[in-house]
């Protein structure tokens, strides 16, 4: 596993809890000390899996190849930054390793993400006899598996799909992001995008929003965003007439975001800055990226869990033609308690909802259930064994048939 942030911490805990499936495990990151801390916390929790750690720069293909050739993993779980997807995939191909990630590639110098860069690896993975599993977090990930499950068991035709993501938690900070601030802010300041009647429709950032009711939470203002799983779902389920993604934001969060943008701190280009030298002997001109500097001063998402209250609610609201030939609605969702996630893994619910599915995807591969040569999005595999594990591994799902979808 590459990465040592909040999601990686959760995935590592869950891997250690399933030592009957995962017999040899290594955590590698740019800072080995972070990997060692995860292992220490896992062992303190009474889990006995022998876990190795290593230092690696995931931007460097040669370093990755050296590590893979030394440890010889059957599967590489990429929980690093989305910028590093392609270097890790290149190293996997060179060393004969299978691959799994939770977020699609995006270039460092452009706030733009789509699957085309990774889909371009299909032939190479197929010819090498290797499996690459893309987007195996919650969204993307579980939401796509929910869609596959609905298509397999409840619908002849899925026609309308709305993925809804609500975080109704309170971390008691004036402003903080629930995962890497750099990735989070890049994502939500982009233009919105949704699929309707065979074409993509672009909106201004956070232009379209409405109140939606979430189970056990109530109404929350929900904003239409561009999110990558829509891109593959409309291809794999061509009966879909409209597909959208919604996420909740509070007014305080949006006000801070507006200020960050207005003062230039969300910029991803380099600016020149004259900084004092550490030894006090003078100054030097350095280049910094404002958003990366902002990340350094914002609360670390890994440190939010202790005082986090409330829960998340993420699911799919689907309308279409059921197996009986009549129109039906279907809402499938999970609610995850931040407190329960913290008590189990030391991380908050947003990290938990991404880390657990990453482990389950790895389990599906190791059991031979999700294993075929090529590059695949998760909805291209059988959803049933994954859905069974969600209930066993801490993310139980619930269904509402023929209810009001509000959309």
Q: What is the pTM of this model?
A: 0.93
Give me the residue spans of the domains in the chain.
258-297
Output the pLDDT for position 178. 67
Q: Quick one: the chain helix, strand, coil %, rounded to 5? A: 40, 30, 35
Please identify which residue in the block is written with the tokens 């201004």.
Answer: 204
Interatomic CA distance for residues 49 and 23, integer angstroms: 8
Q: Write the pLDDT tens digit of every residue in 258-291.
A: 888 888 888 888 999 998 988 989 999 999 988 8
Output the pLDDT for position 261. 84
Question: Which residues of the chain carry a pLDDT beneath 70?
Answer: 109, 111-112, 178-179
Output the pLDDT for position 173. 82
Question: Measured in whole angstroms, how far is the alpha carbon of residue 262 from the centre of its chain?
Answer: 28
Output the pLDDT for position 111. 63
Q: Write the pLDDT tens digit of every residue in 19-69.
A: 999 999 999 999 999 999 999 999 999 999 999 999 999 999 999 999 999
Output the pLDDT for position 150. 98
Helix (H) / strand (E) element for 42: namely helix 32-44
140 upstream amide cis, omega within 30 of 0: yes
CA angle 66, 72, 76 (to 5 degrees): 90
- CB-based burial label for 303 (10 Å; 0-12, 13-18, 19+): middle
Q: Reduced to 3 states, what is the DSSP secondary structure of residue 348?
A: coil
* CB neighbourhood size of 151 (10 A): 21
Interatomic CA distance for residues 337 and 330, integer angstroms: 23
The number of residues making up the chain comes to: 407
Kindly report the backbone phi and psi dihedral angles of residue 125, in degrees, each rounded to the nearest multiple of 5, phi listed first.
Answer: -70, -40
Q: CA dist 365 to 18, 358, 369, Å? A: 14, 11, 6
């Amino acid at each position: 596993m590459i990465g040592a942030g909040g999601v990686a911490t959760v995935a590592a805990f869950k891997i250690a809890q399933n030592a009957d499936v995962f017999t040899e495990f290594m955590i590698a990151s740019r800072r080995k000390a972070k990997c060692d801390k995860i292992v220490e916390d896992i062992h303190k929790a009474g889990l006995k899996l022998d876990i190795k750690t290593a230092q690696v720069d995931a931007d460097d293909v040669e370093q990755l190849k050296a590590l893979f050739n030394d440890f010889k993993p059957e599967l590489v779980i990429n929980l690093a930054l989305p910028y590093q997807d392609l270097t890790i995939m290149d190293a996997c191909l060179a060393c004969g390793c299978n691959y799994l990630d939770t977020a699609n590639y995006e270039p460092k110098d452009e706030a733009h993400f789509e699957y085309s860069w990774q889909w371009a690896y299909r032939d190479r993975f197929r010819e090498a006899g290797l499996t690459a599993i893309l987007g195996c977090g919650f969204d993307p990930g579980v939401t796509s598996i929910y869609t596959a499950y609905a298509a397999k068991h409840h619908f002849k035709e899925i026609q309308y799909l709305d993925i809804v993501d609500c975080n109704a938690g309170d971390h008691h900070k004036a402003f903080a992001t629930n995962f890497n601030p750099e990735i989070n802010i890049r994502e939500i300041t982009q233009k919105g995008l949704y699929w309707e009647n065979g074409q993509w429709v672009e909106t201004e950032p956070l232009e379209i929003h409405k109140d939606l009711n979430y189970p056990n939470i109530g109404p929350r203002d929900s904003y239409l965003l561009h999110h990558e799983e829509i891109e593959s779902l409309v291809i794999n389920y061509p009966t879909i007439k409209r597909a959208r993604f919604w996420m909740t934001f509070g007014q305080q969060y949006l006000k801070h975001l507006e200020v960050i943008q207005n003062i230039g701190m969300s910029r991803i280009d380099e600016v020149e800055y004259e900084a004092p030298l550490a030894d006090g002997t003078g100054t030097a001109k350095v280049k910094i990226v404002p958003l990366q500097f902002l990340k350094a001063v914002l609360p670390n998402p890994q440190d939010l869990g202790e005082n986090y209250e409330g829960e998340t609610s993420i699911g799919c609201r689907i309308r279409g033609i059921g197996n009986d030939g009549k129109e039906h609605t279907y809402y499938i969702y999970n609610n995850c308690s931040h407190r329960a996630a913290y008590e189990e893994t030391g991380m908050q619910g947003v990290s938990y909802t991404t880390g657990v599915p990453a482990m389950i995807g790895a389990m599906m591969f190791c059991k031979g259930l999700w294993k075929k040569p090529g590059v695949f999005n998760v909805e291209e595999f059988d959803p049933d064994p994954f859905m069974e594990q969600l209930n066993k591994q801490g993310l139980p799902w619930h269904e509402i048939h023929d209810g009001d979808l509000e959309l």
